[in-house]
Structure 1
Amino acid sequence: MEQHETMIRFSSCRGVSFEINPTKTSPFALPTHLQDAAEGTRFRTPWNWSRRISIRVLPRSQSKASSHFCNLGDQEDDDEEKEEMGAPIDDVEKTKVLSFHREQEKPLQQQPSQKRVYVAKAKQQRESRLWVILLDQGLLTVYKRLFALFLSLNVTTLVLATTGHFPYAREKPALFSIINVLALTICRSEALLRVVFWLAVKVVGREWVPLWIKTSATSLLQSLGGVHSSCGIASIAWLVYALILTLKQRDNTSDGIIAVASAILFLLFLSSMAAFPLIRHLHHNVFEQTHRFSGWAALALLWIFIILTFSYDPNTKSYNFSISRLKKQVEIWLTLAITILIVLPWLGRVAVTAVAAPSGHASLIKFNGGVEAGILGRISRSPLSDWHAFGIISDGERGHMMLAGAVGDFTKDLVSDPPTHLWVRKVQFAGLPYLVNMYRRVVLVATGSGICVFLSFLLQTCAADVCLVWVAKGIEMNFGKEIKEMVSGFPKEKVIVHDTALLGRPNVAEMSVDAASRWRAEVVIVTSNPQGSRDVVNACKGAGIPAFGPIWDS
Structure 2
Amino acid sequence: MEDTEMKIARFSSCRGVSFEINSNRSNPFAVESPTKPERTTGTWLWIPWTRNNSFKILPQSQAHIITSPTRSRASSHFCDINIDADDVELEFLAEFQDIENQEKANSVKQQKLLQKPDPSPRNSRLSIILLDQGFTVYKGLFLVCITLNMIALALSATGHFPYAKSRATLFSIGNILALTLCRSEAVLRVVFWFTVKTIGNICVPLKIKTATTSFLQSIGGIHSSCGVCSIAWLVYSLVLTIENNDKNTSPEILGVAFTILSLISLSSLAAFPLIRHLHHNLFERIHRFSGWMALILLWLFILLTISYDPTSKTYHLTIKKMVKTQECWLTLFITILIMIPWLSIKRVQVSVTAPSNHASIIKFEGGVKPGLLGRISPSPLSEWHAFGIISDGKKEHIMLAGAVGDFTKSLVSSPPKHLWIRSVHFAGLPYLINLYQKVLLVATGSGICVFLSFLLQPTKADVCLIWVAKDIEMNFGKEITDLVGRYSKEKVIVHDTAVSGRPNVAEMSVNAAIHWNVEVVIVTSNPEGSRDVVRACNKAKVPAFGPIWDS
**TM-score in terms of structure 2 length:** 0.80
Cα distance between partner residues in 1 of 2:88 and 2:253 = 62
Task: Mark the CA change 1:438 to 1:64 in structure 2 (over 3 Å): closer, same or farther.
Answer: farther
Identify the match of residue 265 of structure 1 among 253, 261, 265: 261
CA contact (8 A) 1:395 1:456 kept: yes
Task: Mark the CA change 1:67 to 1:222 in structure 2 (over 3 Å): closer, same or farther.
Answer: farther
Q: Which residue of 2 aligns with 1:72?
A: 76
CA contact (8 A) 1:379 1:389 kept: yes
CA contact (8 A) 1:161 1:170 kept: yes
Q: Which residue of 2 aligns with 1:202?
A: 197
Identify the match of residue 337 of structure 1 among 333, 339, 345: 333
Matched, 1:499 2:496: yes
In the alignment of these two chains, the number of paired residues is 475
Q: Which residue of 2 aligns with 1:514?
A: 511
**Residue 407 of structure 1, CA deviation:** 0.7
Partner AA of 1:158 in structure 2: L
Cα distance between partner residues in 2 of 1:325 and 1:66 = 72
Cα distance between partner residues in 2 of 1:533 and 1:70 = 20
CA contact (8 A) 2:522 2:544 kept: yes
CA contact (8 A) 1:65 1:509 kept: no
Q: Residues 391-540 of structure 1: matches in 2 within 5 Å?
A: 391-540=388-537
Task: Mark the CA change 1:215 to 1:509 in structure 2 (over 3 Å): closer, same or farther.
Answer: same
1:345-366 superposed Cα distances (whole Å, 9 cap, x missing partner): 1232232333333322111111
Matched, 1:377 2:374: yes
Cα distance between partner residues in 2 of 1:189 and 1:323 = 28
Cα distance between partner residues in 2 of 1:520 and 1:411 = 37
Cα distance between partner residues in 2 of 1:66 and 1:174 = 60
Partner AA of 2:307 in structure 1: S
List alignment gaps of at least 5 residues for structure 2.
1-11, 21-41, 46-65, 91-111
Identify the match of residue 133 of structure 1 among 129, 132, 142: 129
Q: Which residue of 2 aligns with 1:8?
A: none
SS of the equivalent of 1:480 reads helix
SS of the equivalent of 2:247 reads helix
Task: Mark the CA change 1:203 to 1:241 in structure 2 (over 3 Å): closer, same or farther.
Answer: same
Identify the match of residue 189 of structure 1 among 144, 167, 184: 184
Cα distance between partner residues in 2 of 1:130 and 1:487 = 32
Cα distance between partner residues in 1 of 2:155 and 2:382 = 42
Partner AA of 1:451 in structure 2: I
CA contact (8 A) 1:69 1:447 kept: no
Cα distance between partner residues in 2 of 1:169 and 1:312 = 21
**Residue 159 of structure 1, CA deviation:** 0.5
CA contact (8 A) 1:285 1:386 kept: yes
Q: Which residue of 2 aligns with 1:230?
A: 225
Matched, 1:164 2:159: yes
Q: Which residue of 1 aligns with 2:106?
A: none
1:66-87 superposed Cα distances (whole Å, 9 cap, x missing partner): 99999531475xxx88x88xxx
**Residue 134 of structure 1, CA deviation:** 2.0
Q: Which residue of 2 aligns with 1:551?
A: 548
Q: Which residue of 2 aligns with 1:281?
A: 277
CA contact (8 A) 1:442 1:523 kept: yes
CA contact (8 A) 1:162 1:170 kept: yes
CA contact (8 A) 1:72 1:447 kept: no
CA contact (8 A) 2:346 2:423 kept: no
Partner AA of 1:72 in structure 2: S
Task: Mark the CA change 1:25 to 1:268 in structure 2 (over 3 Å): closer, same or farther.
Answer: farther
CA contact (8 A) 2:519 2:542 kept: yes
Identify the match of residue 215 of structure 1 among 210, 217, 236: 210
SS of the equivalent of 1:133 reads helix
Q: Which residue of 2 aligns with 1:99?
A: none
CA contact (8 A) 1:357 1:364 kept: yes
1:228-264 superposed Cα distances (whole Å, 9 cap, x missing partner): 0110100000000111112233422111111111011
Cα distance between partner residues in 2 of 1:70 and 1:526 = 22
Cα distance between partner residues in 1 of 2:383 and 2:453 = 26
**Residue 129 of structure 1, CA deviation:** 4.3
**Residue 497 of structure 1, CA deviation:** 1.4
1:428-450 superposed Cα distances (whole Å, 9 cap, x missing partner): 11000000000000000000000
**Residue 505 of structure 1, CA deviation:** 1.7
Q: Residues 340-379 of structure 1: matches in 2 within 5 Å?
A: 340-346=336-342, 347-379=344-376
Partner AA of 1:256 in structure 2: E
Identify the match of residue 295 of structure 1 among 284, 291, 296: 291
Alignment RMSD (CA, Å): 3.1
1:278-332 superposed Cα distances (whole Å, 9 cap, x missing partner): 2211222221111111111111111111111111111110100212211210111
State the percentage of identical aligned residues. Answer: 62
CA contact (8 A) 2:467 2:495 kept: yes
Cα distance between partner residues in 2 of 1:63 and 1:498 = 11
Partner AA of 1:200 in structure 2: T
CA contact (8 A) 1:509 1:539 kept: yes
1:496-537 superposed Cα distances (whole Å, 9 cap, x missing partner): 211222322211111111111111100000001111111111
SS of the equivalent of 2:133 reads coil
Task: Mark the CA change 1:514 to 1:363 in structure 2 (over 3 Å): closer, same or farther.
Answer: same
CA contact (8 A) 2:433 2:439 kept: yes
Partner AA of 1:222 in structure 2: Q
